Structure 1
Amino acid sequence: MWLQGRSLPPGGRGLLASRDQFWQEQQRFALHTLRNFGMGRNAMEERIMFEFEITCEEIDKRMVNGQLSVQPNHMFDLLIGNIINRILFTDRFKKEEEEKFFYLKNKLDNIFDTFEPYDVLINSWTINIPLFRRRAEALLKPQDDLLEFLQGQVQKRRAAIANGAHIIEGDGGDFVDAFLIQMEKDEKDGTTNSFK
């Protein structure tokens, strides 16, 4: 796949870029972790309802202040983004971080909006042709921005763990905790796999 070895994690690692054994490891880990966090059970419903209640409170505040204008797409995008972010990082996008969320979301939306049929012609050979290279770089830029955001969040978490501000208990409180626990376990066991 032409994306591997470019802007995605090195060596085809991760749930999106991996194949074969690495893909199976990542898929099993993701499914197992999400089940542990309550996917399909009441625990996940509680997380969703928490975010829904915050969104409803925001609507109520706007109504009280005389603002009857509500952008439902904006609110539902943020609601879903916060649910996903809480599963990944335990955090939600605070009011001052909403701009960052919508910046990332708009970048990713642009990939789908600007996708052209000839984009499927991009492969390891055609990527060397200037026209295709520029197009591939334009398609990968939003992914790079998202990966940069995610890597920044993981680095913040590692720093918080190192300085004692974040303590991982049990299987962890979110997906990143679970992944870091798995990485540490495999490192201690000397296991070579896709958790790097």
Structure 2
Amino acid sequence: MKEFVKHSEAYAGRPTLNFMKIFYGGSYGLVFNDDSFWNSQKRFTLHVLRDFGFGKLALQETIIDQANQMTKVLKELNGKPIDMTKILANVTGNIIYQLTFGWTVSLESDYTMNIRNQIFEVLDILFHPIGWLCEIWEGFKILDPLFNQVMKKLLEKNDSVLNEIKKEIKRHRETIDYNSEPRDYIDAFLMEQRRQKGENELHGEWSDLQLIGAIYDLFLAGTEAMRCEVYS
């Protein structure tokens, strides 16, 4: 144990998964990224999220607002039974959206449930036989027809999630003011990307692939929180 503590950096790696290449185009993001920049990206993300109130009283306003909206919706039902899954998913998801995208959705919106279901279905591939095979060797994708094109279908859902993220990044690039304070996580990353001269990088710490991977991981964290809220 003393050896682990003394040389913690030597044992602090993350598993290298073939699925990161399949999902993101490489080992990017905040969870399974084992590249040299994993620690700095983790610190950057925590710093940005804290600046926007994560773990602080400043975020309480957003949480209280979401709670008030949920209370209003429930009162309007006048005691009628309701499936709370979508409402709870939106309440939880809106915290992530506010920090990451700078906006929230209506509690009656299907946006969060669509994203949530797509991510859950994508994660299911990790427990499917074709998923195990592809984790051993990516070339096993050629066997997908034997499994009723499971991999192809789930990658289409994964692409749908990625396209939502790319759309938000594009919107931010078109509206960002580099001389002002960042509005959210994407703004903060794009500003740092410009400072690091990484705007034209196809790969690396300040590439769009890393931004996409980081947002995807924040989505994963949010959807896992949704799962706990709904089924606890």
TM-score for both structures, normalised by structure 2: 0.67
Counterpart in the other structure of 1:61? 76
Q: Distance in 2 between matches of 1:116 and 1:155?
A: 33
Consecutive aligned runs of 4 or more in structure 1 exceeding 6 Å deviation: none
Cα displacement (A) at 1:194: 0.9
- What is the CA–CA distance in structure 2 between the aligned matches of 1:142 and 1:76, rounded to whole Å? 23
Task: Summarize the Cα distance change of 1:89–1:138 in structure 2 as closer, same or farther, 3 Å threshold.
Answer: same
What do the CA deviations read for 1:34-68 (whole angstroms, capped 9, x no partner)?
122222210122222221112222222333xxx72
Residue in 2 that maps onto 1:84: 96
**Could you list the per-position Cα deviations for residues 168-187 of structure 1 after superposition, in whole angstroms to 9, with x for gaps in the alignment?**
633x1211111111111111
Instruction: State the match for 2:44 in structure 1.
Output: 29
Distance 2:132 2:64 in 1: 40
Q: What is the RMSD computed on CA atoms of the aligned residues? A: 3.1
Query: CA offsets, 1:95-137, max 9 Å, x none?
Result: 68x2233222222233455653522221323234344794333
1:154-173 Cα offsets, whole Å, 9 max, x none, are 11122223xxxx67633x12
Report the alpha carbon displacement of residue 193 of structure 1 after superposing the two structures with TM. Answer: 4.5
| Equivalent of 2:54 in 11, 36, 39 | 39
Aligned positions of 1:136-175 closer than 5 A: 136-161=151-176, 169-170=180-181, 172-175=182-185
Distance in 1 of aligned mates of 2:40 and 2:147: 32
Once residues 178 and 70 of structure 1 are traced to their aligned partners in structure 2, the CA distance between those partners, rounded to angstroms, is: 39
Of the three residues 71, 77, 96, the one matched with 2:83 is 71
1:11-30 paired onto structure 2 within 5 Å: 11-16=26-31, 18-30=33-45
Native 8 Å contact 1:14 1:194 kept in 2: no
Instruction: Call closer, same or farther: CA 1:33–1:133 in 2, change over 3 Å.
Output: farther
Distance (whole Å) between structure 2 residues aligned to residue 13 and residue 133 of structure 1: 29
How many residues get paired? 186
What is the TM-score when the length of structure 1 is the normalising length? 0.78
1:2 is the counterpart of 2:18 = yes
CA contact (8 A) 2:90 2:107 kept: no
- Is 1:88–1:174's contact at 8 Å kept on the other side of the alignment? yes
Match of 1:120 in 2: 132
Which structure 2 residue ranges, 5 or more long, are not aligned? Answer: 1-16, 208-232
Picking from 178, 184, 190, the partner of 2:194 is 184
- Between 36-45 and 106-115, report the one with greater CA deviation: 106-115
**Which ranges in structure 1 are unaligned for 5 or more consecutive residues?**
none
- Which stretch shifts more, 12-21 or 76-85? 12-21
